């Protein structure tokens, strides 16, 4: 048998060596892919990765290790073989490697968000602050943009800060955006809550940003604004103020004890056997819908009867004299004068709550928001009538009959005016208790609501962007063209050409009125018009940009607020020492679940392998 040449033998050995290495690398990458897949699941759900004791004989090794071993025991052959054969110094289960895996996942999610923002060409920024479980001030940033024809709001960053002045926060915002190569020249709007350091006219973040970037429109978060309006109205009117103080006291005394709460639930089961028992809700100046939720509970006759029974039970069985006296006093306050504002506010606040929930939607645009507020103003004005008052009063009377409460308002003590002050004091007309409540409570409260809505939600945004509304285009073409030109000139900085835009607009109006189904009659929303332009016409790039700009402006900073809910789930009592880098990456994965779920595992392994030298071969 003839021997092979030495070079052929070497070639075969090399090929065999390459083949073995390839198999090893593919096997290692498969193991890492499974580890990444499990890590993404734990991160998306906001669960804690590590346990206090991760030794082999521990009964609780943490979510990640327990889930890993569960998978290995239940059919995952790759992980089972890895756990059986991998050496202790190369099993890739240490906390250092775990941190690197988490960092790779969070970075990939963050990079995808930034990529989408950059591809959009324009964006809006939202920022808010909160105190976490470790008493650190955390500042979260979110962005709104249009990606592939859809409106998106995404979490961008969270950072612990010490200085919370407007100047410091504005500097932090600019630096953070620039670190992601996001220029504020491409930003079109900013939205914050009503805190002075955020929204202050002269020294707030919005003022500092507009000082450097005048084209960046400021939007006071509509949801915060609406909530602040209700808080102010309820605190300014004496009867409303006393009513909500009583509602809060009911919550404190009943829900402040497990024993009293249990009796309250038992009473509900007797009076509402087919309904799920409900808790009383406390009031807060910062929780947006707490008043509506609280009143939606109390307005139920069966629940209010249960409240009365619970107070009577507390007053007769509690040994604590202060609690007993408080329950007795509250029970006496649940009279007809309590029922009337309960009926009024329950109806009004339900409508405010509906509007607030719609405003928090990602898909809503600022023109829709203004129209919603206009509709709310119209609703309150319509309710300000003697007929509505009579309807509320009749409902309160019916509730009083069910509760066996006397349906009469207490006679107010007449204040006698000295004749030395008023010679005609004896001729003064005195209102009945019902007339007094209607005038001094009902009309006054609704007038305050209307005035506050008109003051807090100016129509300048509507006028500014009205050129993009179909009804204005159809009914007031000259006004639409004038406002469109002004709008194009203001946003030249983001790549809109005013002269070209004006020429496009004339052709666009004719085209859209001719070819857009029901444009004249149905008056479609701006998003529908934008989608039509994007799909059917390429001749109006500047018009498309202005519609895109309108849809990019946020109505609220709710997305940033929602990220704080994730923060509370991730940074808990048992995880209160978590550092900024790990917190940020976990927040990225948890807030943007759809992105983290669809990450390319192969690219994650490549990213992980390229960070440093690995004992396990991962790259071909």
Domain containing residue 151: CATH number: 3.30.420.10
244, 393: one domain: yes
236, 333: one domain: yes
State which residues form the domain around 485.
460-552
Q: pLDDT at residue 419 above 60?
A: no
Count structural domains, the chain. Answer: 4
493, 587: one domain: no
pLDDT for position 279: 94
Q: Rounded distance, CA 158 to CA 589, Å?
A: 13
What one-character DSSP code corresponds to residue 438? I
350, 403: one domain: yes
pLDDT for position 423: 56
Name the band, by pLDDT with cuts 50, 70 and 90, for residue 26. confident
| Residue in this structure with the two tokens 């004890």, named with its chain if needed | 257
pLDDT for position 12: 63
pLDDT tens digits, one per residue of 458-475: 888 888 888 898 888 888
393, 295: one domain: yes
**173 belongs to a structural domain:** yes
pLDDT tens digits, one per residue of 506-540: 888 888 888 777 777 777 889 999 998 888 767 88
pLDDT for position 426: 53
pLDDT for position 608: 86
Degrees, nearest 5: CA angle 263-264-265: 90
Last residue of a domain, one of 399, 422, 456: 456
Q: What percent of the chain has pLDDT over 90?
A: 62
516, 381: one domain: no
Q: What is the pTM of this model?
A: 0.88
Q: Which of 272-276, 331-335, 468-472 has the lowest mean pLDDT?
A: 468-472
310, 193: one domain: no
Mean pLDDT value of segment 154-164? 95
450, 464: one domain: no
pLDDT for position 58: 83
Mean pLDDT value of segment 319-332? 93
pLDDT for position 84: 86
pLDDT tens digits, one per residue of 282-294: 888 777 788 999 9
Q: pLDDT at residue 411 above 70?
A: no
Q: Which of 247-261, 297-311, 407-421 has the lowest mean pLDDT?
A: 407-421
CA-closest candidate to residue 30, choices 102, 95, 89, 80:
80
Q: Tell which wins on pLDDT, 167 or 19.
A: 167
**420 belongs to a structural domain:** no
543, 404: one domain: no
pLDDT for position 521: 74
Q: Rounded distance, CA 41 to CA 11, Å?
A: 45
Q: Tell which wins on pLDDT, 45 or 85.
A: 45
513, 536: one domain: yes
**415 belongs to a structural domain:** no
182, 258: one domain: no
Q: Rounded distance, CA 357 to CA 363, Å?
A: 12
pLDDT for position 420: 56
**287 belongs to a structural domain:** yes
What one-character DSSP code corresponds to residue 142? E
**127 belongs to a structural domain:** yes
Q: Which of 188-192, 287-291, 484-488 has the lowest mean pLDDT?
A: 287-291
35, 132: one domain: no
Name the band, by pLDDT with cuts 50, 70 and 90, for residue 581. confident
Answer positive or negative: Cα dihedral of 569, 575, 580, 582.
negative
User: Which range, 5-14, 33-42, 522-531, has the best average confidence (pLDDT)?
Assistant: 33-42
Q: Is 239 exposed, middle or buried (0-12, 13-18, 19+ CB in 10 A)?
A: middle
Q: pLDDT at residue 396 above 60?
A: yes
Give me the residues paired with residue 138 across strands.
130, 160
**619 belongs to a structural domain:** no
What are the start-end ranges of the E strands in 462-575?
A: none
**620 belongs to a structural domain:** no
pLDDT for position 616: 63
Computed over every residue of the chain, the mean pLDDT equals 89
pLDDT for position 418: 56
Last residue of a domain, one of 515, 533, 552: 552
| Residue in this structure with the two tokens 């507020």, named with its chain if needed | 373
Q: Rounded distance, CA 567 to CA 138, Å?
A: 9
**516 belongs to a structural domain:** yes
Asked if residue 327 lies in contact with residue 308, where contact means CB atoms within 8 angstroms, the answer is no
Q: pLDDT at residue 149 above 70?
A: yes
Mean pLDDT value of segment 227-245? 92
Mean pLDDT value of segment 255-277? 95
Give me the residues paired with residue 190 across strands.
125, 218
């Amino acid at each position: 048998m003839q021997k092979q040449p030495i070079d052929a033998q070497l070639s075969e050995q090399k090929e065999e060596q390459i083949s073995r290495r390839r198999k090893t690398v593919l096997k290692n990458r498969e193991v890492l892919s499974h580890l990444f897949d499990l890590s993404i699941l734990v991160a998306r759900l906001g669960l804690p990765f590590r346990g206090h004791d991760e030794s082999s004989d521990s009964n609780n090794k943490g979510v990640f290790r327990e889930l890993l071993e569960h998978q290995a025991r239940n059919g995952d052959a790759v992980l089972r073989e890895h756990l059986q054969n991998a050496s202790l110094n190369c099993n890739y289960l240490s906390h250092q490697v775990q941190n690197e895996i988490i960092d790779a996942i969070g970075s990939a999610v963050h990079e995808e968000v930034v990529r989408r923002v950059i591809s959009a060409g324009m964006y809006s920024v939202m920022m808010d602050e909160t105190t976490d479980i470790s008493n650190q001030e955390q500042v979260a940033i979110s962005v709104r943009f249009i990606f592939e024809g859809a409106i998106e709001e995404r979490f961008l960053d969270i950072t612990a800060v010490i200085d919370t002045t407007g100047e410091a926060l504005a500097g932090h915002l600019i630096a953070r955006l620039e670190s992601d190569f996001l220029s504020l020249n491409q930003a079109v709007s900013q939205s914050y809550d009503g805190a002075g350091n955020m929204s202050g006219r002269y020294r707030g973040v919005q003022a500092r940003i507009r000082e450097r970037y005048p084209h960046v429109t400021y939007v006071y978060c509509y949801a915060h604004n609406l909530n602040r309006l209700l808080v102010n109205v309820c605190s300014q009117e004496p009867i409303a103020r006393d009513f909500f103080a009583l509602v809060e006291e009911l919550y404190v005394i009943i829900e402040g004890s497990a024993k009293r709460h249990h009796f309250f639930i038992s009473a509900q089961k007797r009076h509402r056997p087919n309904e799920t028992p409900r808790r009383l809700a406390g009031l807060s100046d910062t929780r947006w819908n707490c008043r509506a939720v609280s009143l939606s509970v109390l307005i139920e006759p069966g629940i209010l009867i249960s409240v009365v029974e619970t107070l009577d039970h507390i007053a007769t069985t509690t040994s604590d004299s202060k609690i007993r006296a408080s329950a007795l006093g509250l029970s006496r306050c649940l009279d007809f004068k309590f029922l009337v504002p309960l009926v009024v506010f329950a109806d009004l606040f339900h409508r405010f709550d509906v509007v607030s929930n719609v405003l928090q939607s990602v898909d809503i645009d600022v023109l829709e928001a203004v129209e919603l507020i206009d509709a709310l103003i119209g609703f309150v004005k319509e309710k300000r009538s003697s007929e509505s008052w009579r309807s509320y009063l009749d409902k309160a009377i019916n509730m009083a009959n069910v509760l066996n409460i006397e349906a009469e308002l207490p006679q107010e003590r007449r204040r006698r005016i000295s004749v030395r002050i008023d010679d005609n004091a004896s001729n003064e007309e005195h209102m009945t208790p019902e007339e007094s409540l209607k005038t001094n409570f009902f009309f006054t409260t609704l007038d305050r609501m209307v005035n506050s809505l008109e003051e807090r939600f100016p129509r300048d945004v509507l006028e500014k962007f009205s050129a993009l509304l179909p009804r204005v285009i159809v009914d007031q073409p000259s006004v639409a063209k004038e406002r469109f030109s002004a709008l194009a000139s203001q946003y030249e900085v983001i790549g809109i050409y005013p002269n070209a835009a004006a020429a496009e607009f004339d052709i666009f109006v004719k085209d859209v009125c001719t070819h857009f189904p029901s444009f004249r009659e149905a008056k479609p929303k701006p998003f529908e018009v934008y989608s039509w332009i994007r799909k059917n016409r390429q001749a109006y790039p500047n018009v498309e940009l202005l519609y895109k700009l309108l849809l990019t402006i946020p109505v609220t900073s709710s997305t940033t607020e929602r990220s704080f809910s994730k923060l509370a789930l991730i940074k808990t009592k048992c995880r209160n020492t978590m550092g900024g880098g790990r917190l940020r990456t976990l927040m990225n994965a948890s807030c943007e679940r759809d992105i983290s779920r669809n990450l390319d595992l192969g690219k994650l392994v490549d990213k992980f392998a390229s960070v440093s030298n690995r004992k396990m071969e991962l790259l071909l």
